[in-house]
Amino acid sequence: GQQVMQIPQYQHVQEGEDFTTYCNSSTTLSNIQWYKQRPGGHPVFLIQLVKSGEVKKQKRLTFQFGEAKKNSSLHITATQTTDVGTYFCAVSAYDKVIFGPGTSLSVIP
Amino acid sequence: NAGVTQTPKFRILKIGQSMTLQCTQDMNHNYMYWYRQDPGMGLKLIYYSVGAGITDKGEVPNGYNVSRSTTEDFPLRLELAAPSQTSVYFCASSYSPGDRDYTDTQYFGPGTRLTVL
């Protein structure tokens, strides 16, 4: 069945450093979504990527969809303490949405 | 729009008790989902529904039941609560145009924190 992996599982960075999380699928994807969950909160939608090689930016966040549509990345430039949380990728799989295990980001002030 | 609302926010159950977690959405979404999230872990799909009257099992359905009599409501029933069901439960909804390999943004409720002692 569909498998979604994310690396790394945890990342601790100094404030101001960059951060990247990667999402990999065992099958070709129709689209991929990214969500952020603050500690104690609920997942909140960030962005959706649909096209091969697509790159989208939201302020300091850059999202990329791989050419083969089997992987994606989220890059944060110059992290801030407000970036703390867990970042999940999610993929569609026949009526269902499958979430990756998430990457937990800690930012040291 | 209130979005997705869940009640209660917190609940403590004794082993063997039962309860219903309520979920309501006012966005006229056709798809609704129930997830559980154990501490420090990701989201596991319990049940989902593609429309009123239609439900299907997710990854971890054992010990739970659902129904979807209306578009808006998707309650989750726990029968004979067990300590392994201690978790945070999230309800979510989304709109899907009918392409079963595509789904739009999922909107999550605030969650229900359940402890079974």
pLDDT more than 90, % of chain A: 82
Mean pLDDT, chain A, whole residue set: 93
Cβ contact, residue pair B56, A31, below 8 Å:
no
The residue of chain A with its CA nearest to that of B105 is A45
As a whole number of angstroms, the distance between CA B49 and CA B34 comes to: 9
Closest chain B C-alpha to A101 CA, distance in angstroms: 5
Q: Cβ-count burial of A87 within 10 angstroms (0-12 exposed, 13-18 middle, 19+ buried)?
A: buried
Range of lowest pLDDT (A5-9, B36-40, B83-87): B36-40
Kindly state whether B9 is in contact with chain A, defined as any CB-CB distance less than 8 angstroms.
Answer: no
Q: Is the pLDDT of residue B100 over 60?
A: no
pLDDT confidence bin for B2, thresholds 50/70/90: confident
pLDDT confidence bin for B102, thresholds 50/70/90: low
pLDDT confidence bin for A30, thresholds 50/70/90: confident
Closest chain B C-alpha to A108 CA, distance in angstroms: 19
Query: A3 versus B69: which is more confidently predicted?
Result: B69
Closest chain B C-alpha to A77 CA, distance in angstroms: 25
As a whole number of angstroms, the distance between CA A3 and CA B8 comes to: 32
The residue of chain A with its CA nearest to that of B43 is A99
Q: Which of A95, A104, A106 should one mutate to test binding to chain B, selecting the residue with the greatest count of B CBs within 10 A? A: A95
Cβ contact, residue pair B45, A98, below 8 Å:
yes
Neighbours of A83 (CB within 10 A): 19
Q: What is the pLDDT of residues A53-89, one digit of tens each?
A: 999 999 999 999 999 999 999 999 999 999 999 999 9
pLDDT confidence bin for B29, thresholds 50/70/90: very high
| Contact in structure between B62 and B38 (CB atoms under 8 Å) | no
Tally C-beta pairs within 8 A across A and B. Answer: 57
Closest chain A C-alpha to B1 CA, distance in angstroms: 16
Query: B58: which residues sit within 8 A by CB, 6+ positions away?
Result: A96, B33, B34, B44, B45, B46, B47, B48
